[in-house]
Structure 1
Amino acid sequence: MADDDGRSPEDDFQELLRQLFGAEGGRLDPEQLSQLSGLGIDPAMMQTVMRHLQDAFKDGQDGGISWEMAERQALHIANQSDLGVTSGQRGDVDQAFSLATLWLSEATAISDLASPPRAITRGDWVSATLPVWQELAEPVATSIADALTTALGEQAPDDMQELVQGAGRIMRTVGGSLFASQLGQVVGQLSTTVVSGGDVGIPLMPAGDAVILPQNFADFGRDLEIAEDQLALYVATRELAHARLFRHAKWLRLHVIAQITDFARGVRVDTEALEELASRFDPSQPEELRAALESGALLPARTPAQTAALTRLENLLATIEGWVDVVTEDATSRLPSAPRVAEAVRRRRAVGGPAEKALASLVGLELRPRRMREAAAMWRAVTDAVGMAARDALWDYPDLMPTSDDIDDPAGLIARLEARSRGEEPPRDAMDEAIEALLRDVGERPEGGEAPGPDDPRPV
């Protein structure tokens, strides 16, 4: 229905969008907002959208994602409850790391770190790890931004398509900014629970950095009824083993992150769920939207390709965690409470540790190290059979690392290692023979010639 000026509510809305997207920093007129009720649009919701758009103009001029927003959110949460590191805590952590370094020299052939381990605050952890969280989350952030842009284009009337196309850049920025805000909340909350740099099982800290967060360490040990010095020694030993491994196997960090991002690139937003939620969203009661974002309800079920990628990632992380478990167990064998601490760490991971909760809400990736015990059993069998030097040499190159088949049947891996130690050639498979035949064929061809035919007297 048209008003006294002959303008319909649709005309008012179209004019509002022109003002909104036609000039940078355009402001919404409250009177125009009230007129949107003719379209069934909640003005309060539109004001919320406008605030996000204004943030987008400030933080994402190029239509990209405002990762600065994520950092601000995370640091705000971390610093709210960050008590800092006292000189006493720093001294206790340094002492634990010093003794753990000596113990590890007897349990692994992988060399010590180049930089000294240290105690850090929650805010320090956020600043150090956020670049990795950004890399892991960016594929999904892009997917969400694309979904918002697509939904806008599909729902807009035909006569507004040109206008909608012009708004695409800003809508991508809004979607990315909303996701960045969620990322910041997750990382900020995570900073209040992680005990060490390797606590979440993925390489978040720069390679070769070993750290403990004393404030979170105190929270972790409060109900375990274990002497604090023994708990600190175990945690320090495990952290150093994790950091040493990723410093030694320089390819491993990229390998893990690449597998996670490969999975994340396959994530697509459930646009039907997004539209259904938006249709009943009440800005004055945002709990439902927050719960949907945190639970991953807007992410559809995994595809077969994603399931396969997840299986590969689980095997990789289990292989890493299993090695760390065995090395830590050997290094802390003289620590009376070591078995109890190890079991507490395993239970914490099995029921859903920090990494699982964070990645599940960000990229729909649930990390349950279901094969960690099997992988640890494999590493134990390898250690007993060939010793720690031959065991640790498996991390020298990517193609030497144990596979999921080796976790299932360590005997085959042990047989290969024992044969290698005797100077014997490893068993040849059909692929090896085919490659050798191909190389021999190429080497015996005359320059510019062709491969010999079946009646050619030359050897094939």
Structure 2
Amino acid sequence: MTSFGGTASQGMVDWNLAVATATRLVRPGPEISREEARAVVAELRRHAKVSEEHVRAFTRMGTGDVHDTPVLVVDRPGWVRANVAGFRELLRPLLDKMQERRGPGAGNAVLGAVGGKVTGVELGMLLSFLSSRVLGQYETFAPAAPDLPAGTAPGGGGRLLLVAPNIVHVERELDVDPHDFRLWVCLHEETHRTQFTAVPWLRDHLEGEIQAFLAETDVDPMTFLERVRDAAQSLAGGRPEGEEEDGGRSLVELVQSPAQREILGRLTAVMSLLEGHADFVMDGVGPEVVPSVAEIREKFQQRRAKGASRLDLALRKLLGLDAKLRQYRDGERFVRAVVDEVGMDGFNRVWTSPNTLPTKAEISDPAGWVARVHRTTEP
């Protein structure tokens, strides 16, 4: 098992406890024989390989060069370990600043001893919830570990995760062809890998935006915890007078400065583009290689819309997962509208530089993006 420790950020979050908590609480996967499990893993690896060619041909992105970003077929605890490693890497600068701001004193020592464990448990609980819902993930900011290899490309590699028990669970729940569904999922995740391997500046740009967002966070630990507490109370219906307009926002959105909201707008646009593009590609490639793609998409959309229990819906709202569902929908509409108007090559101008990425407003106004990026100099 990967161990996470040794830096100042360890004091703010007990990462090992987060992993242990999530692993202990994670729900068991679907019942499956050892032979069937091996067959699922082997098929997912084959589909991931085949998906590379399909995605490149459809998107006209990337080359035939072999990428060193590995494909890992994992279980739910494996997904947890990979994501804790990614969170720790991204949050390190912020947590180190918060650690430095504590200063000496018995009270701060107690905060350090207890706070890190409390945060570790809370993070573990959230990860256990999420670990049964993710089908696949391209980890952009993945640090390499002995049991979790990552790419070694300049500027940082990545890895593609396929969560086998969750894929099996959903294909059974939807009652769809399992072989078609597994390939369909792989097409989506391979599109994300292609986005980052074919667009060299995209990873650094996204990391820069995330770090700028975190840099705007108040680094005083007590103030930060008070803002989180106030946000949670607001979502629970106890928001302060005069702040009713915030009732529809998630916890992530509420813990923000005005500068963070500007950055979040740009991040929302980029994530909508990436997720919508992946949905567009998986359905666009589908008819040629996934015979039952129409049935899969219809049933999958119904599952997304239906949601689950009231607790599940509340957690989705709290974590901002409902916003992610909107990103799939709005982003796919943007990509489809642009491709319909200017073709795939015209759409691919979106990858030219950060300046050609759509704004949050343009995600809802594809014609506005086309007018700006395809502005002609002809009289």
TM range (shorter): 0.5 to 0.7
Distance 1:340 1:314, change over 3 A: farther
From 277, 294, 301, the equivalent of 1:339 is 294
| Alignment match, 1:108 | 59
From 99, 112, 119, the equivalent of 1:172 is 112
From 356, 363, 371, the equivalent of 1:407 is 363
| Alignment match, 2:147 | none
- Give the CA deviation at 1:64: 4.9
CA contact (8 A) 1:350 1:369 kept: no
User: Aligned runs of 1:355-434 on 2, under 5 Å?
Assistant: 357=315, 360=318, 367-415=323-371, 418=374, 425=377
CA contact (8 A) 1:273 1:298 kept: no
CA contact (8 A) 1:270 1:300 kept: no
Distance 1:100 1:230, change over 3 A: same
| Alignment match, 2:76 | 122
How many Å separate the matches in 1 of 2:160 and 2:351?
19
Structure of greater relative contact order (alpha carbons < 8 Å, 6+ residues apart) = 2
From 321, 324, 333, the equivalent of 2:278 is 324
How many Å separate the matches in 2 of 1:343 and 1:302?
36
**What amino acid sits opposite 2:162 in the alignment?**
I
| Alignment match, 1:226 | 176
Q: Secondary structure at the match of 1:72?
A: helix
How many Å separate the matches in 2 of 1:101 and 1:67?
34
| Alignment match, 1:213 | 163
| Alignment match, 1:282 | none
CA contact (8 A) 1:378 1:410 kept: yes
| Alignment match, 2:128 | 188
How many Å separate the matches in 1 of 2:322 and 2:96?
20
| Alignment match, 1:12 | none
| Alignment match, 1:28 | none
| Alignment match, 2:203 | 253
- Give the CA deviation at 1:196: 0.9
| Alignment match, 2:244 | none
How many Å separate the matches in 2 of 1:272 and 1:232?
39
How many Å separate the matches in 1 of 2:73 and 2:265?
34
How many Å separate the matches in 1 of 2:254 and 2:13?
22
CA contact (8 A) 2:56 2:194 kept: no
Q: Secondary structure at the match of 1:226?
A: coil
Count of aligned pairs: 327
How many Å separate the matches in 1 of 2:75 and 2:374?
46
> Residues 327-369 of structure 1, C-alpha deviation per residue, up to 9 Å, x if partnerless?
2221112334323433455566667799x958945xx897444
How many Å separate the matches in 2 of 1:366 and 1:262?
24
- Give the CA deviation at 1:213: 1.7
How many Å separate the matches in 2 of 1:185 and 1:69?
10
Distance 1:426 1:69, change over 3 A: farther
Note if 1:66 corresponds to 2:14.
Answer: yes
| Alignment match, 1:291 | none
**What amino acid sits opposite 1:226 in the alignment?**
V
CA contact (8 A) 1:126 1:188 kept: yes
CA contact (8 A) 2:140 2:158 kept: no
Distance 1:140 1:79, change over 3 A: farther
* Percent of aligned pairs sharing the same letter: 23
CA contact (8 A) 2:351 2:357 kept: yes
How many Å separate the matches in 1 of 2:252 and 2:281?
40
How many Å separate the matches in 2 of 1:371 and 1:79?
27
| Alignment match, 1:14 | none
Query: Where do 5+ consecutive residues of structure 1 fail to align?
Result: 1-57, 151-163, 278-295, 428-460
Distance 1:321 1:65, change over 3 A: closer
CA contact (8 A) 1:117 1:210 kept: yes
- Give the CA deviation at 1:105: 3.1
Distance 1:389 1:62, change over 3 A: closer
> Residues 414-438 of structure 1, C-alpha deviation per residue, up to 9 Å, x if partnerless?
345555xxxx5499xxxxxxxxxxx
Q: Secondary structure at the match of 1:332?
A: helix
| Alignment match, 2:238 | none
> Residues 211-250 of structure 1, C-alpha deviation per residue, up to 9 Å, x if partnerless?
3122111111222121111111110111101111122234
How many Å separate the matches in 2 of 1:143 and 1:366?
31
CA contact (8 A) 2:277 2:335 kept: yes
CA contact (8 A) 1:65 1:173 kept: no
> Residues 380-407 of structure 1, C-alpha deviation per residue, up to 9 Å, x if partnerless?
2322333323422422422222223432
How many Å separate the matches in 2 of 1:393 and 1:175?
47
**What amino acid sits opposite 1:70 in the alignment?**
A
> Residues 26-46 of structure 1, C-alpha deviation per residue, up to 9 Å, x if partnerless?
xxxxxxxxxxxxxxxxxxxxx
How many Å separate the matches in 2 of 1:243 and 1:302?
30
| Alignment match, 1:95 | 46
Q: Secondary structure at the match of 2:168?
A: helix
Query: Where do 5+ consecutive residues of structure 2 fail to align?
Result: 1-5, 143-149, 151-156, 219-223, 234-249
How many Å separate the matches in 2 of 1:193 and 1:241?
20
Q: Secondary structure at the match of 2:278?
A: helix
**What amino acid sits opposite 2:14 in the alignment?**
S
**What amino acid sits opposite 2:77 in the alignment?**
G
| Alignment match, 2:236 | none
- Give the CA deviation at 1:298: 12
> Residues 115-167 of structure 1, C-alpha deviation per residue, up to 9 Å, x if partnerless?
453422333322322122234566887899899x79xxxxxxxxxxxxx9244
From 202, 222, 226, the equivalent of 1:270 is 226
- Give the CA deviation at 1:96: 2.3
Distance 1:62 1:368, change over 3 A: closer
How many Å separate the matches in 2 of 1:131 and 1:214?
20
Distance 1:208 1:260, change over 3 A: closer
